[in-house]
Amino acid sequence: VQYYLGIPPVTVEQVIPGCTSPCPLSDFIRILGHLIPRDEELNCPKKKDNVANASVWKQLSEDLRRKIKNP
């Protein structure tokens, strides 16, 4: 997996624990699938005052970064 560091457009290769490099999509989903939102999680009513969605996405991205960086 190429980890995007930001601007300037620099990437570094990260190996996901339990996966080869490059990581096939099926393995990626098997390993990290619990972090991918399900359809019912994406279809919730969106309200301007609903900050729970933002906190969920923040937690998911932090979990994913931690899993990639700390095998």
Residue 51 corresponds to which tokens in the numbers above? 């900050």
DSSP state of 48: T
Residue ranges of domains in the chain: 2-69
pTM above 0.85, yes or no: no
Tens of pLDDT along 51-60?
Answer: 556 677 777 7
- The pLDDT tens digits of the residues spanning 26-45 come to 998 898 888 887 777 667 66
Virtual torsion, Cα 51, 53, 55, 59, nearest 10 deg: 180
For the CA atoms of 66, 19, 54, 8, the dihedral, rounded to the nearest 10 degrees, stands at 80
Residue with tokens 């560091």: 5
Strand partners, 4: 11
